[in-house]
A and B are shown apart, each in its own frame.
Chain A
Amino acid sequence: MQRINNRVILPFITAFLGGVWVFIGLSQYGWYTDGKPGSGFFPTITGALLLLMSILAVISESKLETPKFWIFHFHPIIMAVGVVLLAMLIGFFPALTLYVFGWLKWYEKYNLKTSLLATVLTITGMYGVFAMWLRVPFPVGFFIEGILR
């Protein structure tokens, strides 16, 4: 069986989105209301054009070579999702500290001194600018919130 070229996945997705935009635009928001362009006017035109261009892309892309993806491409995504989940539990800065140190020490295999130094500099810098200077209220996490209550 011939393998499907993964290059067509993206235009398939954009074609689907274009179709959804046209359908919702016409059925829910309206093309023209009271003789004036309605809420669906602009999105419908955009969606229709995207659908058309995506179909053209599906045809042209299927002839090209398939690019390769590796599992390591997804490691930063998995780690960042982990940081978000951990931030909800133990707070933003502890989660980021663990992430930066963990990545450097165990993933990149830097020595303890370099890992610690880079972590301290990064987190202190970020804390100083965002939390202290710009006063962005970062979440402290369920655990700390629970203790504070």
Chain B
Amino acid sequence: MTVSEIFDTMEYGAAPESTAEAQAWLDRHPDGFGHFIGGRFTAPQDLFDSKNPATGARLARVSGGSAADIQAAVQAARKAQPAWERRGGHGRAKVLYALARLLQKHSRLFAVLETLDNGKPIREARDIDIPLAQRHFYYHAGMAQLMDSELPDQRALGVCGQIIPWNFPLLMLAWKIAPALAMGNTVVLKPAEYTPLTALLFAQICREAGVPKGVVNIVTGAGDTGQHLVAAPVDKIAFTGSTAVGRAIRQATAGTGKALTLELGGKSPYIVFDDADLDSAVEGLVDAIWFNQGQVCCAGSRLLVHEPVAKDFHARLRARMDKLRVGDPLDKNTDVGAIVDPVQLASITAKLAANTAGTTHVSAAPLPQGGCFYPPTLIENLNPADPLMQEEIFGPVLVSTTFRTPAEAVQLANNTRYGLAATVWSENINLALDIAPKLAAGIVWVNATNLMDAAAGFGGVRESGFGREGGWDGLRAYTKDRAPQRALKPTPLPAPQTDAPVIAGGIDRTCKLYIGGKQTRPDGGHSAPVFAKAGGLLGHVPVAGRKDVRAAVEAASAASGWARSTGHLRAQILYYLAENMEQRRDTLARNLDAMRGGKTGAREVDASIRRLFTYAAWADKFEGRVHGVPLRGIAIGLKEPVGIIGAICPDEAPLLGLVSCMAPAVAMGNRIVLAASQSHPLIVADLIQLLETSDIPAGVVNILTGPHEDLANTMSGHMEIDAIWSFGSSPALPRIVEHGAASNIKRSWVNHGLARNWEGPMGEGRAFLNAATETKTVWVPYGE
């Protein structure tokens, strides 16, 4: 076209980014890429293609990692780890700083390579992915520097296996590697099969940055390589990807003692109230669902619009969609690039083909010929019962419905198995700040969307996974307590002596379950005898079964108002419980001694009273944090209760152990279902009397007695329990609990067969408070 013709049409024309440098880098590896293990690239073998999804052209050939490759990489990481940790915070900070600098120096090469391999628009790779990855290394260089002074009780986990997805290849690598290295871990990272190239380029700059051999290992491959890594002798698995694979990893690692964090899928709500700046909310959707072709775990994919503005808003939205430019990812004017792979394109296409509900609007933007492209799509007037309102599509497809009231907006928003992110648009600060805490999500954006930063925690609740990446919270995923740990010996059940009389004498004592504030008999109608250390019959406790767990969870569910109570009130209630326990001190001590023998009962009661005081103290002091994000606005890390917690209490400290689980959960606003000590359960009879006279609302604390393994099995599989803790001494418990937790991807905290000194500092404090809370990051940009 001539200049004068363009003067009339005012078209943008092509604005392609040059691929010369990226191509030259690829051309230097004509035989394909090996793995990066122990600071060297292995010989390429078992090659597969990494393709450009915009054209289908092969970019490079990459090695498929075998079990032996994984083994070699884990060995290299294991060998390198002690020296890397001993290098100290400053020593590691210097290396992380060098990585950040090198990412910056090669930023355009990384960006172009990312766009070639993934299909994302060059603008996004250039302006979002690569700068955020750099920022992550800078930020964590600082965390390495501060670790010695700020986290003196923490140390590295060891070797971390990390499996990352294809949607943000380099950024997810940064999210995984930067905190792990900062805290003194070494890593074996498997990039996604579709997008391994920037990880391989990163391996090269690791050498330039002076990363010691074996500290970073990259093994490429498909799902089977990932399985090998999950099965390998690593200390931790960090996974970002689909909920289905995350669930399988949860099951595969159950009971192995490997730490686990999962960053999974989402169907994040995007709520528009009638007082919102509608044009800005429409533009926000471009960043929510048409960013990275909608292949974003936290994509605002479920639009909920207030009825008074629904018609107007959708009209504006359709008009905006029609102006999106779909095409060559390397063109600087492209808004929506290529879907990562034909397999993903087929998945999106199939989901849409199966849908008959709602009204579909497809963007008027022309699609390129060939390549993996899908048009921006909106499906209006869907209902929660329609599959596409529930299923993650992971493509540029937005679904929408309307709501009448703020309460209904929350109800619809939370009607999902996922809980990653949520967006709220309103100019009313009262409304926005009221809604944000009510949303089941790890991240809430107010009048913005998809804001991310290294300083702010990212991660979800429900089936979106657990663990946070970024900020101080993110470091917990890569550290453990420095205190030495010893094995926990199973506590034997006191054996009966057939001719032993009942010790107590007098009137028979009745111990029941405590459910919903009432003493109830077990549904199964069975009781079990409890014997003293000396062998005499002490009494009977109910044998709780599946239905009793169900009843306890229902009672806990009904007590949801506890989450909204004030910390001050919860403190008062815990103090009062301690006060009452003090009154019953001698009885409790005597009964403990009768069960266990010895004379430690009084000490345990005193420790329990102190523990109640500790958490009464914490109830209004475990505070959130305002993150230092580069934004005019605030990003707040709110501490919220987890919800309903199931706890298998320790056998060895029947009163103190139960109180140590109950009190932090209650203090932080959770409801809890406790399975009392299996070996010495009778103490609950006294405790229940205390609880009955306390001000703890019905359903907040529920106590069951019975076989730990059975109760753990039911609790870990219960979909309404949000987290499960296991401190029982049965060796089978960790596996039962972690495997069962895969059901709804609930958080789990198990002892892995290690003992905990319940009287000492390990028996209380931040570890328990962290387990009893979720961090929700609420972003509130402001400005007038």
Chains A and B form a bound pair: no
